[in-house]
Structure 1
Amino acid sequence: MRQFYRAVLLTNDHRLLGYVEPGTKLMEHAGIGHHLVQGIERLLGTPARVVWAGRAAPPQHNDETLYGTASSVAPLVAPEHGAIGRYLLNHDRRAFVDKATVLENETRHRVHPLPLLTAEPAPAANNRRTVGDHTLIGSWARALISVRDTVPDGFEQLKFDLIERRP
């Protein structure tokens, strides 16, 4: 079964801001340089809570998934042009990922940290598609995240070591 995803943005108090529909199969759009992920990064110039919400996620308190609930608000239009910062900042954990340090696989493909760090639920299939620290997958779901060119004082670097296996 294909897992459909929506990149859902929430306010600091967890109210829906909107969503972007990147599509199915998380790893198909989770590469550095993918236009939809870059558009979502452009939306994160201002910090927002981010979840790559899966359609097959367990229901929330109202018996509906975040994927389903997100359709109650208008979809966001991810900008196609504009600057993209080098660093993903998690303001809740005071941590950052430097996208320039993301490792590449043998075909020179680099996994974008944002979809995997914020995936909910953490897709078990990615344990077969990636090598590295699988505890990272979903560990930033619903965290307050922004994308910037500089790292604020007091933030610590998170080592993102997930690499996509090629068949």
Structure 2
Amino acid sequence: MGQYFEAINITKGEFVEPHDYDSFAGLTEHSYRQNNFMCAVEGLLQKGGAWYKDKIVWAGDYAESGLYTPEGYEGNLYDCASDGVLKKIEPKITTHLSEYLLNHDKKQFINMETLPSYDGGWILHPLSLLTAIGNGEGGGDFYTSDKKMLSYVGSWAGNSISAEDSVPVGYEEIKPNFVEV
């Protein structure tokens, strides 16, 4: 069966649902650069946005219980949203696409202007894949035989993230080069 995902801010205890933006909930179904759901979350992560530099997780409903959940909660992070433990928000869709995606805990960045495209111009948005927990447990998840590419999936989960137009000194560029095959 297909696994559903939601964008969750574990710093503030808030979440955003893809269905509110007429997007599908499967990870690879909404993880595109100009998808309205992805643009809404990216806007939250921009300077002045409500989630700027907060800790972000893309939680799947098949994810392991106890990861990033409040102490004593029995279930997974996706369930926290469903059970009303987290507050649902519906941010506006940004029209400004940021040049860089930054991880402030790992001092890493991705140049969003050099992301690879495939199948006539589709570009996977790395945010959801980098912060995903539960990937590989259901249909619609991100699958690849490229072990290096796959090693990036979930590697930014629970980290402080922002979307910027410049990169601070001392940050290292990473290139996960996500594409669907």
User: For this structure pair, what is the TM-score category when the shorter chain's length is used for normalisation?
Assistant: 0.7 to 0.9
1:111-150 mapped onto 2 (5 Å cutoff): 111-123=124-136, 125-128=141-144, 133-150=149-166
The two structures have a TM-score, normalised by structure 2, of: 0.81
Q: Which residue of 1 aligns with 2:108?
A: 95
> 1:47–1:144: 8 Å Cα contact kept in structure 2?
yes
Question: What is the alpha-carbon distance in structure 2 between the residues aligned to residue 152 and residue 137 of structure 1?
Answer: 24
CA shift for structure 1 position 137: 0.7
Aligned amino acid, residue 44 of structure 1: L
CA shift for structure 1 position 141: 0.7
Runs of 4 or more, structure 1, over 4 Å off, are 128-132
CA shift for structure 1 position 74: 2.1
Higher strand share: 1
Residue 64 of structure 1 pairs with residue 75 of structure 2: yes
Gaps of 5+ in 2: 19-23, 47-51, 67-71
> 2:144–2:150: 8 Å Cα contact kept in structure 1?
no
CA shift for structure 1 position 129: 8.8
Question: What is the alpha-carbon distance in structure 1 between the residues aligned to residue 97 and residue 129 of structure 2?
Answer: 18
Change (3 A) 1:91 1:2: same
Residue 160 of structure 1 pairs with residue 176 of structure 2: yes
Change (3 A) 1:84 1:104: closer
Question: What is the alpha-carbon distance in structure 1 between the residues aligned to residue 53 and residue 97 of structure 2?
Answer: 14
Change (3 A) 1:130 1:109: farther
Between the two proteins, what is the percent identity of the paired residues? 30
Aligned amino acid, residue 154 of structure 1: G
SS in 2 for 1:147: strand
Match of 1:54 among 50, 53, 60: 60
SS in 1 for 2:88: coil
> 1:132–1:163: 8 Å Cα contact kept in structure 2?
no
CA shift for structure 1 position 2: 1.1
Question: What is the alpha-carbon distance in structure 2 between the residues aligned to residue 163 and residue 28 of structure 1?
Answer: 13
Cα root mean square deviation, aligned: 2.0
Gaps of 5+ in 1: none
> 2:61–2:134: 8 Å Cα contact kept in structure 1?
no
CA shift for structure 1 position 160: 2.1
SS in 1 for 2:87: coil
Question: What is the alpha-carbon distance in structure 1 between the residues aligned to residue 80 and residue 107 of structure 2?
Answer: 29
> 1:103–1:110: 8 Å Cα contact kept in structure 2?
yes
CA shift for structure 1 position 133: 1.3
Between Structure 1 and Structure 2, how many residues are aligned? 161
SS in 2 for 1:52: strand
